[in-house]
Amino acid sequence: MEVALRANRSFLFMRRTPCLLLGTCLWLVMGILADAAGNSSSNSSSLPSLSRPSAVTIGSLFTRDSVIGRAARPAIKAAIDDVNKDSSILAGTELKLLEYDTNCSGFLGTVEALQLMEHDVVVAIGPQSSGIAHVISHVVNELHVPLLSFGATDPTLSPLQYPYFIRTTQSDSFQMYAIADLVEYYEWREVVAIFVDDDYGRGGVSVLGDALANKRSKISYKAPFTPGASESAIKELLIGVNNLESRVYVVHVNPDTGLQIFSIANSLGMMAGSYVWIATDWLPSALDLSDTVDTERMNLLQGVIALRHYTPDSSTKKSFLSRWKSLKFENTATPNSYALYAYDSVWLAARALDTFLSEGGNISFSDDAKLVGLNRSTLSFSTLRVFDGGTRLLQILLTTNFTGLSGEIQFYPDRDLIHPALDVLNIGGTGSRRIGYWSNYSGLSVVPPETLYDKPPNRSASSQNLYGVIWPGETTSKPRGWVFPNNGKPLQIVVPNRVSYKQFLAKDKNPPGVKGFCIDIFEAALNLLPYPVPHVYILLGDGKGNPTYNDLVYAVAEEKFDAAVGDITIVTNRTKVVDFTQPYMESGLLVVVPVKEEKSSPWAFLKPFSLPMWCVTGAFFLFVGAVVWILEHRLNSEFRGSPRQQIITVFWFSFSTMFFSHRENTVSTLGRLVLIIWLFVVLIINSSYTASLTSILTVQQLTSGIEGIDSLISGSDRIGVQKGSFARNYLIDELNIAESRLVTLENEVDYAVALEKGSKGGGVSAIVDERPYIDLFLSNANCAFRTVGQEFTRSGWGFAFQRDSPLAVELSTAILQLSENGDLQRIHDKWLSASECSAEVNSEEENRLSLSSFWGLFLICGIACFLALACFCCKIFSQYRRFTPETGEPEIEIEPANARRPAHATSFKDLIDFVDKKEEEIKHMLRRKSSEEKRQANQCLDGHPSHSAV
């Protein structure tokens, strides 16, 4: 009915004005179609889903009169024109731009951003300020309008907090990772961060601190200044940092005011040699903007290292740069990297909108219920409306992938652009030269990053490479990166005021106030450094007792002193709080005991050999004597005779070989062979016995009830330790020795007195101290004390410095040079005399020879004897078989007749009788038997024919 009424009214009105009728009919048709589609709304503007809008509006936010704005504005306008000219993008839809100037003000920029949102923009390009981006990101989150920022590089702009914020440039976090790699590459340890105190500066420096910590470096000092600080404020800031040790400055400021820092630094003489200046991308952005070279400005920047966003060379980039000056916009400047990112941001928005509209998306806005309730406010919040398709457009933006002027536009899941990379520049002459590249993929290199993406990532130290740098002061030598502060304050060095062992360190009336072995080492090491180190020595202790060395170390750790010099042992708990140099003297804990001379024993001659050695040696004398008797008995008349006489001969011959005084001659080959080998064994045994006995009788033998640290741990005797030494804590904490057993001693005299008294007499049974002290003590003790056991710790003495002090590394190198050129030994010989006594107690067991040292000789001799006996037996059995008579033939001399057994049978007694015969007699009997056998054979041959005839 409502439709019919409308038609009737339209008909009446048409009679009056034909033109008005035609327009009304068209409106009715569109209204009916809209109602049928269910898309009519009084509070929203809509377009049919089957047609594209004629125009789509995007907004831009930047500061026109700024380094970034002067480059970004023409780039954005050029991108708008290029998009509208390209029929393949947003066909039939014009891309319009609303431009708002943020005026370098956080407040005004926020107001301008809010005004931009009143115009129902679908995408916002910018802002360039990280501070404004933080505020406006809350607005776009509420209104569902994607924000593409080509200049807000603050790493704290997190997509988790600001889901509609998309950074179309590289985050400052990558610059800070690159700076950390540079610091590691040039082997610096500390840097000073100079930064603007806003979201942009604080966010970048925060990441820099974390990146340096991963490289075992640090920011030694943070020097912030307020945005728009006066020249006097910046000058005062630079004077302060110039008094610090570090000479590596990282400058992270805005490009519009950053050059003022170098101008002031140059006036203060901070652009000369030994200084290092590293600037983030703001500096190349400012330098690239100028068409002409400002010689005066470039003179301020000589030797500076700067980072610039890397954009690969491409044909589209070259084409764009070639037509840059022909653009018809006002105030067109030379483009920098931000201009390329701004241009690509427009194209990213255009491509995403094209996809959005192709999918049937509508450009529609609706009121925000949260803002409608604020109508009573004088601010027009109700004009801010929610973009209905913002969520979908955001998803399309994040998945869009194309190649722009700045390279490949594609996002990681964390919304950073893929393949972040930077140019490493060295400013010199009238421009800058590229000394290498940095990429998140491969670190520092001299080849373009895209050539490495197809290779496996390699971040090893050997793969990091850059070309040579001309540093401030026009030097090619790498600056050390630190100097002593130029504030007139010398290095404060604490030394122990010792009352004992003053050869190592003692108070002195002459400058520098202390002397000794440790001081000479330290001074010699300082003299090797290529720069002066002003320093003063401060004694710690009352002069009545040695100070506790842990107090010295912790005083340095608490920064009460810069270093500690002395006989300070490098132990684990101390290395946790301070840095030590290379040890300049080896050390370790030893046990010293009182000893007394052992009285001579009437049985001392038995001590060279152990009991098993004596038994085996005696057995071999008898065994070899028996073997020689067996081998010589048949041939040598000196080894024959009655049984009693032969036994005496064996014993006499056996033991007389000990002194090589045997009377009997050996005539058999096997006997001589055995005797030669045995005499060689006897020679070795005699020589070893003589040497061992000489050592036992001539070296003073000392005895002690304590054999080493194990004896002390298991016992209950009192133990002496030096006051202030780490040995006390080591014995208690590591070896679990009761504290009540430990006695603190002051000096060498206390050592001697306590050891002489003994544990039962109120003294100590042993002293545990470090080897350097023990050596010095023993050299002055007239050999009355000795060390027992081995060193049970391995450590050394070093100089202690505050954590991360560069002097610790420098002096370590100097100490190694002292060791190599012999100065270390010469200083040692000057102060420390060598001990005249042996450092350890001699033990009888150490000089006693055991069977394990000679079993090889006995084995050789035994094998020779058995082989000789085997050969002898083979010979005997061969002769015996030849000598055995045939059946029925009596041999009265050898085998008496036995009526009860066959004549050819033999007995063991017959064999022994055969062996006992002389060799000549056996040979005679064999020859006689052989002739008889021949005679019998001839007789048999003569009688053979007669037998045949029969």
pLDDT in tens, 379-405: 566 678 888 888 999 999 999 999 999
Going from the C-alpha of 762 to that of each of 14, 756, 836, the distances in angstroms are 133, 10, 29
Q: Give strand pairing partners of 125.
A: 60, 148
pLDDT above 80: residue 164: yes
For residue 171, what pLDDT is reported? 93
Note whether 800 and 619 are within 8 A (CB). no
Confidence label for 698 from pLDDT (cuts 50, 70 and 90)? low
> Helices 823-831 and 806-821 meet at what angle, rounded to 10?
80
For residue 11, what pLDDT is reported? 34
**CATH fold of 172-312+420-463, please?**
Rossmann fold (3.40.50)
DSSP letters for 304-373: -EEEEE-----HHHHHHHHTSTT---TT-----HHHHHHHHHHHHHHHHHHHHHHTT----EEE-HHHHT
Q: Output phi, psi for 768, to 5 deg.
A: -110, 120
| DSSP assignment letter at 873 | H
Mean pLDDT of the chain: 81
Joined together, the tokens standing for residue 146 give 């994607």
d(CA 664, CA 660): 11
Confidence label for 35 from pLDDT (cuts 50, 70 and 90)? very low
Confidence label for 636 from pLDDT (cuts 50, 70 and 90)? low
What average pLDDT does this structure show over 789-803? Answer: 90
What average pLDDT does this structure show over 45-68? Answer: 75
172-312+420-463 and 702-794 share one fold: no
What average pLDDT does this structure show over 285-293? Answer: 80
CB atoms within 10 A of CB 715: 16
What average pLDDT does this structure show over 548-562? Answer: 93
**125: nearest Cα among 359, 286, 353, 361:** 353
**484: nearest Cα among 492, 474, 475, 472:** 492
Joined together, the tokens standing for residue 522 give 């330290």
Going from the C-alpha of 431 to that of each of 434, 470, 527, the distances in angstroms are 10, 13, 41
Higher local confidence (pLDDT), 898 or 591 = 591
For residue 364, what pLDDT is reported? 86
What average pLDDT does this structure show over 291-306? Answer: 87
Torsion of CA 234, 237, 239, 240, to 10 degrees: 180
What average pLDDT does this structure show over 46-57? Answer: 67
Strands 276-279 and 248-252: parallel
pLDDT in tens, 710-762: 888 888 899 999 988 889 989 998 899 999 999 999 888 899 999 988 888 88
For residue 599, what pLDDT is reported? 59
Helix (H) or strand (E) holding 734: none
d(CA 426, CA 182): 13
pTM of the entire structure? 0.66
Confidence label for 846 from pLDDT (cuts 50, 70 and 90)? low
- CA angle 817–822–824, rounded 5-degree value: 75
Confidence label for 622 from pLDDT (cuts 50, 70 and 90)? confident
Strands 702-703 and 719-722: unpaired
Q: Output phi, psi for 491, to 5 deg.
A: -70, 125
User: Which 3 state secondary structure label does DSSP give 190?
Assistant: strand
For residue 919, what pLDDT is reported? 64
Note whether 577 and 768 are within 8 A (CB). no
Helix (H) or strand (E) holding 726: none
Residue type, 628: V
For residue 182, what pLDDT is reported? 96
For residue 457, what pLDDT is reported? 87
d(CA 565, CA 832): 18
Size of the chain in residues: 950
What average pLDDT does this structure show over 474-487? Answer: 82
What average pLDDT does this structure show over 582-599? Answer: 84
**CATH fold of 702-794, please?**
D-Maltodextrin-Binding Protein; domain 2 (3.40.190)
Note whether 598 and 604 are within 8 A (CB). no
d(CA 398, CA 901): 121
d(CA 827, CA 841): 29
Going from the C-alpha of 439 to that of each of 304, 317, 444, the distances in angstroms are 20, 20, 7
What average pLDDT does this structure show over 297-315? Answer: 92
> Helices 748-757 and 771-779 meet at what angle, rounded to 10?
80
What average pLDDT does this structure show over 3-9? Answer: 38
Contacts of 661 (CB under 8 A, 6+ apart): none
Contacts 24+ apart (CB under 8 A), 94-97: 94/54, 94/55, 94/56, 95/55, 95/56, 95/58, 95/346, 95/350, 95/353, 96/55, 96/56, 96/57, 96/58, 97/57, 97/58, 97/59, 97/60
For residue 431, what pLDDT is reported? 87
d(CA 289, CA 474): 26
Confidence label for 328 from pLDDT (cuts 50, 70 and 90)? low
pLDDT above 70: residue 903: no
Lowest mean pLDDT segment, chosen from 588-592, 783-787, 933-937 = 933-937
User: Which 3 state secondary structure label does DSSP give 204?
Assistant: helix
**594: nearest Cα among 844, 841, 846:** 841
Note whether 123 and 146 are within 8 A (CB). yes
Higher local confidence (pLDDT), 125 or 30 = 125
Higher local confidence (pLDDT), 165 or 832 = 165
Note whether 149 and 126 are within 8 A (CB). yes
What average pLDDT does this structure show over 569-576? Answer: 92
> Helices 259-267 and 231-242 meet at what angle, rounded to 10?
60
Confidence label for 139 from pLDDT (cuts 50, 70 and 90)? confident
pLDDT above 60: residue 13: no
Confidence label for 210 from pLDDT (cuts 50, 70 and 90)? very high
The dotted CATH code for 55-167+315-409 is: 3.40.50.2300
Lowest mean pLDDT segment, chosen from 101-115, 117-131, 698-712, 744-758 = 698-712
Higher local confidence (pLDDT), 582 or 105 = 582
Task: Provide the greatest CA pair distance for the chain.
Answer: 187
pLDDT above 70: residue 15: no
User: Which 3 state secondary structure label does DSSP give 780?
Assistant: coil
Strands 596-597 and 248-252: unpaired
Q: Please provide the distance, in angstroms rounded to a whole number, between the alpha carbons at the two ends of the chain.
A: 174
Domains of the chain by residue range? 55-167+315-409, 172-312+420-463, 491-587+802-832, 604-698, 702-794
Joined together, the tokens standing for residue 844 give 């009888």
Note whether 727 and 770 are within 8 A (CB). yes
Unique residue bearing structure tokens 């009655």? 642
pLDDT in tens, 235-272: 999 999 998 888 999 999 988 888 999 999 999 999 98
Helix (H) or strand (E) holding 245: none
pLDDT above 80: residue 291: no
Unique residue bearing structure tokens 């192709």? 358
Strands (DSSP E) found in 735-830 = 742-745, 766-770, 785-788, 795-801
For residue 783, what pLDDT is reported? 73
Percent of the chain with pLDDT over 70: 80
For residue 530, what pLDDT is reported? 80
Torsion of CA 537, 540, 541, 546, to 10 degrees: -90
d(CA 96, CA 129): 23
For 542-571, b/e burial (b = at least 16 CB within 10 A) is eeebbbbbbebbbbbbeeebbbbbbbbbbb
**801: nearest Cα among 454, 597, 555:** 555
User: Which 3 state secondary structure label does DSSP give 703?
Assistant: strand
For residue 813, what pLDDT is reported? 92
pLDDT above 70: residue 166: yes
**Cis preceding linkage at 512, omega within 30:** yes
What average pLDDT does this structure show over 571-597? Answer: 90
What average pLDDT does this structure show over 444-449? Answer: 94
d(CA 329, CA 308): 26
Strand order across the beta sheet in which 190-196 lies:
218-225, 190-196, 248-252, 276-279, 305-309, 421-428, 431-439, 443-445
CB atoms within 10 A of CB 882: 11
pLDDT above 50: residue 34: no
User: Which 3 state secondary structure label does DSSP give 672?
Assistant: helix
What average pLDDT does this structure show over 10-31? Answer: 34
pLDDT in tens, 356-374: 999 988 888 887 777 665 5
| DSSP assignment letter at 840 | B
Q: Give strand pairing partners of 609.
A: 849
| DSSP assignment letter at 638 | G
Residue type, 543: G
Contacts of 850 (CB under 8 A, 6+ apart): 609, 610, 612, 613
* Domain 491-587+802-832 = CATH 3.40.190.10: yes
For residue 347, what pLDDT is reported? 95
